[in-house]
Amino acid sequence: MYTLTWLDRQEQRIERRLQLLRGSLARWRGARVGQRFGLGRGVRLLYPTCFQAGDDVTISELSYLHCLSARGVVIGKGTSSDRNLWLHCGGTLEDHTHGFFEIGEDSFIGCNAVLGAGGGIRIGNHVRIGQCVNIHAENHRFADPTHLIKEQGVSYQGVVVEDDVWIGSRVTILDGVTIGRGAVIGAGAVVTKSVSSYAIAVGMPARVIGIRGEEKR
């Protein structure tokens, strides 16, 4: 049976102090953050004046957050992300009116998440997001085959994930989707259409196979 040693505990304490120090530097750069805000090693927080977080928020190591947008990035208290989060609000210096990212309180984002928030991503409270989840709140236009896809522009609808949702590992959620309160999305699903509250959805494309709380027949 393994137990934590004194050195293990010291290492944890030192790393936490370093996270808080990096968080203080982000505040000095213009981020609006609460108490005990921490940043892991190697985190890149671009456009910190567009970033806001509540108390007890931690962004783990090697994450990349591009926050440039009129509404910015807002993270509720007690929410955290695991390592290697990639978040981009889609803004440029010439055009940063459309994107944003908002997540509520007591939520968690697993490692290696990719969040393209060009059309806006809003996530509620008490949400659990597994590893390697992709959310894409934008779409390339491609209807005209006589023009390059890159020349046809991008459309934005946005993605909404309501409270108390569990999104399994390697799920992909596409633009225009709303996932209702209390829903569960099974690992590996590709969600192309909205999912109702308390539904259980799996597959590619995702389909509802049950409702939480209903008795099996």
Q: What's the start-to-end Cα distance of the chain, in Å?
A: 44
140 catalytic? Reply is yes
Contact 165, 127 (CB under 8 A): yes
Distance CA 196, CA 164 (A): 13
Residue type present at position 54:
G
Distance CA 154, CA 103 (A): 24
Catalytic residue, candidates 88, 98, 126, 140 = 140
Catalytic residues: 140
